Amino acid sequence: MSNEQLDQLREKLDQVNLEILELINKRAELVKETGQVKEKQGANRSYDPVRERDMLNLIKQHNNGPFEDSTIIHLFKEIFKAGLELQEDDHSKALLVSRKKKPEDTVIDINGVKFGDGNQHFIFGPCSVESYEQVAEVAAAIKKEGFKVIRGGGI
């Protein structure tokens, strides 16, 4: 294959990429409009597995290759996921303890410690550790300073 042929194919690929981008953005606008209509109707804008299955079945029926159905399904699930994120409220990504998400009198209880109760609390610990011993050493130092140690995963 000559360099000229390769360049022509790459130009065509670039054009197709831009067409796909345009269609994905067009789809995103339709998803946003759908979310707005659902909101006006008071309908739930959350994930609908039946609707997703129906869309994926339609896509599979029209997939003439060369990609396997599983590859196409994977790609479209990512597109669907991105679309759902467009429909989420602006506050959906706020921290649970954020005053933007909850009223000022919100108190959250984590392992018996109340956050938001008007008392000052400190949250700290090793962000990256090399061993269990290092975690134990940091916890012991924190406890020695009179702070309560809460262990566990995320909320």
**What pLDDT was estimated at residue 41?**
83
Query: Residue ranges per domain, the chain?
Result: 3-88
Q: Where is pLDDT greater, at 138 or 84?
A: 84
CATH number for 3-88: choose from 2.30.42.10, 1.20.59.10, 1.10.150.250, 2.40.30.260. 1.20.59.10
User: Residue 20 to residues 61, 66, 67, 81: CA-CA distances in angstroms?
Assistant: 20, 17, 16, 17
Predicted pLDDT of residue 131: 73
Q: Which residue has the higher pLDDT, 149 or 138?
A: 138
More confident residue, 42 or 36: 36
Per-residue pLDDT tens digits for 91-134: 444 455 454 555 556 777 777 778 777 787 766 655 655 677 77
At 35, the pLDDT band (50, 70, 90 cuts) reads confident
Per residue in 54-103, pLDDT (tens digit) is: 999 999 999 999 999 999 999 999 999 999 888 775 444 445 545 455 55
